[in-house]
Structure 1
Amino acid sequence: MNVEEIRNYALQKEDVTETFPFGEETLVFKTNNKIFLLMGLDAIEHSFNVKCDPDKAIELREEYPDNILPGFHMNKKHWNTIVIKGLKGTVIKQMIDHSYQLVQPKRKNKSA
């Protein structure tokens, strides 16, 4: 996937907005006023940051050591940096989907 395909995929999700709060070189995608994807637009090697469950983050970094790294400029426990080159589109979409789900409001169970 390229940057534009990733952008389009993120924007297809419900209630997503794109902004540039950190300057014109960093594209940020939010839902429910929470960031779930950040993408630098000025890098030679394109990558983006997504939220990730801490245990899953470790597993993914081990499985894809060249493409999934601790989040650059982010909390490394909860964020991964995804290097696009060489990573299948299905894996990229799964990472975006997972991040998006993590920032959704938690549903409260109603007890009878």
Structure 2
Amino acid sequence: MNAEQAQAYCLKRPDATMDFPFVPDVPVFKIKGKMFGLLGQCSENGKELGTEYAGCHFLNLKCDPDEAIMLRDIFPEVKAAYHMSKTHWISVVLIDSMPEKEIERLIDRSFALVVKSLKKTERLQLELKYPHEQLYR
């Protein structure tokens, strides 16, 4: 999955929006004003996630702390989140060796965790608007 595909997939989530609160070339994906993803790019020296990922795009996604540890053990492309809470966020390097379906699952999971943390009225509004979507698991 490349950066454009990741951006498109994030924006397919129900009521997802894209914002640029930090810098103009770093999109942030939100639901009801709460961030569930950030799309960044490693610098040419790879200082963010390691020299092996210099120039690569990455997604910061919300993640259950226990699952984050497991994912980092399984996938070398999953790192402790760059510039965010290392406990509740992961960085997923968007390179060919990372399975596309797993990236999609992680985006869905991040979205679901944020929806689950919304106020009850906001969750109910989403459920009524999207009755056939699995908004959170």
The alignment's TM-score, normalised by the length of structure 1, stands at: 0.89
Deviation at 1:25, TM superposition (A): 1.9
C-alpha offsets along residues 64-109 of structure 1, whole Å, 9 cap, x if unaligned? 1x2000000000000000011120100100110000000003659x
Structure 2 spans left out of the alignment, 5+ residues? 44-54, 122-137
Question: How high is the sequence identity, in percent, across the aligned residues?
Answer: 38
* CA–CA separation in structure 2 for the residues paired with 1:63 and 1:57: 10
1:77 aligns with 2:77: no
Deviation at 1:48, TM superposition (A): 1.2
- Cα RMSD of the aligned pairs, angstroms, is 1.6
Residue aligning to 2:33: 33
Q: Secondary structure at the match of 1:76?
A: coil
C-alpha offsets along residues 11-57 of structure 1, whole Å, 9 cap, x if unaligned? 11111110111011211000021100001157511111000000100
- More deviation in 6-15 or 39-48? 39-48
The residue type equivalent to 1:72 in the other structure is Y
* CA–CA separation in structure 1 for the residues paired with 2:68 and 2:119: 21
The alignment's TM-score, normalised by the length of structure 2, stands at: 0.73
* CA–CA separation in structure 1 for the residues paired with 2:27 and 2:41: 7
Structure 1 spans left out of the alignment, 5+ residues? none
